[in-house]
Amino acid sequence: MPNTTPLSPDACSTMAEVRAGVDDLDARLVEMLATRFAYMRAAARIKPERGQVRDEPRKAEVIANARARAEGLGLPADAVAAIWEGLVEASIAYELDHWDERRG
């Protein structure tokens, strides 16, 4: 039985190995996003007012946290902040949909 655990980035010597690692990581990221969106469903259930779904101070805090973590890891902080901007906006839209479904 072949080993299906991807190599670490530093251990990769072929593009096939790099792609296998990226594909594995992408699958795990989507699974983590499923958990994040489950928290958005919980927030839609908990928040009594639709207007509470969009919380600009919290949005800014989440993006700033991602930016700081990226900077600490030597990643392109602007790119990570942009990704988080999209993620938070998608999360808000998802939460609004679930808020409306529960009460509509």
pTM tops 0.85, yes or no? yes
Give pLDDT, residue 90.
Answer: 98
Question: Tens digits of per-residue pLDDT, 44-66?
Answer: 999 999 999 999 999 999 999 99
Q: Annotation-wise, does 19 bind a ligand?
A: yes
Would you say residue 88 has pLDDT above 80? yes
Superfamily of domain 12-103: Chorismate mutase (1.20.59.10)
Provide the phi-psi class of 74: left if phi over 0, else alpha when psi is between -120 and 50, else beta: left
Q: By percentage, how much of the chain surpasses pLDDT 90?
A: 95
Asked if residue 103 belongs to a known ligand binding site, the reply is: no
Is 59 assigned to a binding site? no
Per the annotation, does 85 bind a ligand? no
Backbone angles phi, psi at 69, to 5 degrees: -65, -40
